[in-house]
Amino acid sequence: MKRFHVHVAVDDLAASTRFYSALFGLSPTVRKDDYAKWQLDDPRVNFAISQRGNPAGVNHLGIQTDDDAELEALQAQLARAEVDAVAESGVACCYARSNKYWVTDPTGIAWETFHTLGEVPTFNGAPEETKEAAACCTPAVAVPAKIEVRSRTPAKA
């Protein structure tokens, strides 16, 4: 089963953690000095916030899968629609190691499809001394989606 993923860059991590904990009625499942994540079942969402050098706002969206087979099925679905993706295997991102694909929607929003393999102790798996410079792991190279939108409204006679 898939889980929706939202990652928001924030200006004040402590205030945002208090706000989202109140909104979700739960404390974060992962809490670091610069990052918090709620793995929610109702609604089924992986919601993360970070304070890591990105402007405040939606950083990226995604779909988390339970296994690599489900991930590859999502990638095949995108490929059939001629959406090019950036593949990453076993990459450290935030505080997790994952297999993933990145695409950018037509409005410029980054999307990832991913399967989490395990945790990493530092942000993006980088040495602790590089902590201040590292931002979220969204690839620098955007892959714009090439989706052709077709109307479902029947043509008038």
Q: Taking the C-alpha atoms of 104, 105, 108 and 114 in order, what is their torsion angle to the nearest 10 degrees? A: -40
Spatial separation of the C-alpha atoms in residues 121 and 60, rounded to whole Å = 22
Residue 93 structural domain:
3-130
pLDDT at 59: 86
Q: pLDDT-based confidence at 140, cuts 50/70/90?
A: low
Q: What angle do CA 94, 37, 20 make, to 5 degrees?
A: 140
pLDDT at 7: 94
Overall domain count for the chain: 1
Spatial separation of the C-alpha atoms in residues 33 and 131, rounded to whole Å = 10
In a domain, 142, yes or no: no
pLDDT at 65: 95
In a domain, 39, yes or no: yes
In a domain, 105, yes or no: yes
pLDDT at 21: 93
Burial of 43 (0-12, 13-18, 19+ CB in 10 A): exposed
In a domain, 153, yes or no: no
In a domain, 29, yes or no: yes
Does the structure show a pLDDT above 90 at 141?
no
pLDDT at 136: 66
Spatial separation of the C-alpha atoms in residues 97 and 100, rounded to whole Å = 10
In a domain, 135, yes or no: no
pLDDT at 45: 95
In a domain, 67, yes or no: yes
Domain of 92: which CATH number?
3.10.180.10
Residue with more model confidence, 146 or 25: 25
pLDDT digits (tens, 9 = 90+) for 4-25: 999 999 999 999 999 999 989 9
In a domain, 138, yes or no: no
Average pLDDT of the residues in 77-89: 88
Model confidence pTM above 0.95: no
